[in-house]
Amino acid sequence: MSATTLKRRKTTGEIRAMKGTGRPIVSLTAYTTPIAKLFDPHVDFLLVGDSVGMVMYGFESSLAVTLDMMIAHGAAVMRGAEKACVIVDMPFATYQESPAQAFRNAARVMVETGCDGVKIEGGPEMAETIRFLTERGIPVLAHIGLTPQSINAFGGYRARGRSQAEADHIMAGARAVEEAGAFAVVIEGTLEPLAQAITEASGIPTIGIGASVHCDGQVLVSDDMLGLFSDFKPRFVKHYARLAPQIAEAAESFAADVRARSFPAPEHTYQPKKDGPAT
């Protein structure tokens, strides 16, 4: 195969260059190789989110997610991604202590997964860390507004930007992460007019989740998008499928067949050949 026919994943630079093109940026979370393969042809970047803690491990929040978990899932997604850029979340307490701590852990993520960049939460308080990472070759996707790793400080999951002081802080955070070198910024759980104003003022792409249709792109947690949690649907989520009842029905049908001894049927078993041993 010649060098010109080799497949190449989209880069963080190409994601940044989509700002102002009029083409919305598409992203979904992924945590496994099979899902990454299914999503890869349709998205611009795959986000290996620390939401893995809730959707795959049953944690109440993302705070219990470890660096080793993110590396394992990041590597799994990389095995399924051929076209999409891959970004891995930095989990809680792996980057907040100091820029040096952030670099050590982010470098480990990059080396052990082969991903294209990392995501960290925070606005002005994280600007120094973002600059430290980007100046040392680690692309950063910033995250402002509702930042789930700070949920205990916020006092719960609620839309951000309702007070003028809060809105001013989020806007200042958007400016700070852009100036620090982030290639794009996620805006989560933020009042729509504020998210739109940030998008219009920012020189880097904004990726909305519970923000505004006017953001430069959108991301959703894949399990929410697929309807795998039928009893949980945040306001900002649209179910593009409702797989939870289908999966439950499939399990019910399998259990009924096993109990009725109708599965496995002859076509599902290995029988001896007439002229030789079983195969």
Q: Please state the residue numbers annotated as binding site.
A: 50-51, 89, 119, 121
* Consecutive H or E run containing 12: helix 12-16
Q: Which residues are annotated as a binding site for Mg(2+)?
A: 50, 89, 121
Instruction: Write out the DSSP string of 99-146.
Output: HHHHHHHHHHHHHHH--SEEEEEBSGGGHHHHHHHHTTT--EEEEEES
Distance CA 127, CA 125 (A): 6
Report the 10 Å Cβ neighbour count for 60: 9
Q: Which of 188, 249, 252, 267 is catalytic?
A: 188
Answer whether 185's CB lies under 8 Å from 143's CB: yes
Answer whether 186's CB lies under 8 Å from 198's CB: no
Both tokens assigned to 156:
């719960």
188 given a catalytic annotation: yes
Which residues are catalytic, by number?
188
